[in-house]
Amino acid sequence: MEPYYKTDGETLYLCDTLEALNELEEGSVDLIFADPPYFLSNNGTTCQNGKRVSVNKGSWDKVELSFDKHSFNHQWLRLCQRVMKDNATIWISGTMHNIFSVGMALEEEGFQIVNNITWRKTNPPPNLACRCFTHSTETILWAKKRGAKHYFNYALMKELNGGKQMKDVWEGPITKRSEKKEGKHPTQKPLYLLERIVLASSREGDLVLDPFCGSSTTGVACQRHHRRYIGIDNDPEYIALSQRRLTTLNGQLQAKFDLSR
């Protein structure tokens, strides 16, 4: 499996996620963040920048049967477990369209859920249909291998929360325009969210994997906080976007280092 892009700290693979996970070294990863397809592309509409737009993300976000969705979740979670170290953890984001299947598959594959994080978006898109409550949250499951000891930087999370224990409801805005300068991904996560996850559950030098990397916000967080990163995506447009973001930040960090010498 040849990398699409590789530096001392980052590796990107343009290929099928299941194939890539089969080839990665067993027991090599310290942390996984996964933002798998939500399977919400149902020909509906939503609001974006004040305009009605389709919710369809692409063929990768469509599934015909719930059985197929659950089977897919089993496959990629089983392979993630293979590449995780015994004390590694995995974070998975999702909405009601897929997260309940993911949660069940986690337990069926021998994982233990540590926390159920609710990310409350402070500026969600409005509900145009007016036939249900406005969707303003996503769920992020944090899990480990059943019975394993895991790393949690409790002290740092408490410090970042003003000296109080950090709760499992995290509030903040959706992704800023400034984080999309190199291009847009339809489900791009904000950097502050990934930075918190990376800081909470990994140490400097650890290897972090994102098996559905999209625009590689996970990779940007790893760069900024001195973690190694592997990103996998099967879309040439998005893997190229990932490379642009990582290359741009590498240049900025190098320039900052040179000025400080």
pLDDT in tens, 217-226: 999 999 999 9
pLDDT in tens, 242-253: 999 999 988 876
The pLDDT, as a whole number, for residue 127 is 87
pLDDT in tens, 47-100: 455 554 544 456 545 666 666 899 999 999 999 999 999 999 999 999 999 999
Could you tell me the residue range of the domain that residue 51 belongs to? 5-260
pTM over 0.85: yes
Q: Burial of 1 by CB count in 10 Å (0-12 exposed, 13-18 middle, 19+ buried)?
A: exposed
Residues 6+ apart with CB under 8 A from 222: 9, 10, 198, 208, 228, 229
The pLDDT, as a whole number, for residue 39 is 82
Domain count, the chain: 1
Supply the CATH number for residue 122's domain: 3.40.50.150
CA–CA dist 4, 27 (Å, integer)? 23
CA–CA dist 89, 223 (Å, integer)? 19
Asked if 139 and 95 count as a contact pair (C-beta separation under 8 A), the reply is: yes
The pLDDT, as a whole number, for residue 52 is 47
Q: In this model, does residue 45 exceed pLDDT 70?
A: no
Average pLDDT for 11-32: 98
pLDDT in tens, 93-137: 999 999 999 999 999 999 999 999 999 999 998 988 889 999 999
**Three-state SS sequence of the chain:** CCCCEECCCEEEEECCHHHHHHHCCCCCEEEEEECCCCCCCCCCEEEECCEEEECCCCHHHCCCCHHHHHHHHHHHHHHHHHHEEEEEEEEEEECCCCHHHHHHHHHHCCEEEEEEEEEEECCCCCCCCCCCCCCCEEEEEEEEECCCCCCCCHHHHHHHCCCCCCCCEEEECCCCHHHHCCCCCCCCCCHHHHHHHHHHHCCCCCEEEECCCCCCHHHHHHHHCCCEEEEEECCHHHHHHHHHHHHHHHHHHHHHHHHHC
Average pLDDT for 227-241: 97
Q: In this model, does residue 22 exceed pLDDT 70?
A: yes
pLDDT in tens, 123-172: 998 988 889 999 999 999 999 999 999 999 999 999 999 999 999 999 99
Average pLDDT for 179-198: 96
More confident residue, 234 or 59: 234
CA–CA dist 246, 35 (Å, integer)? 18
Residues 6+ apart with CB under 8 A from 240: none
The pLDDT, as a whole number, for residue 136 is 96
The pLDDT, as a whole number, for residue 46 is 47
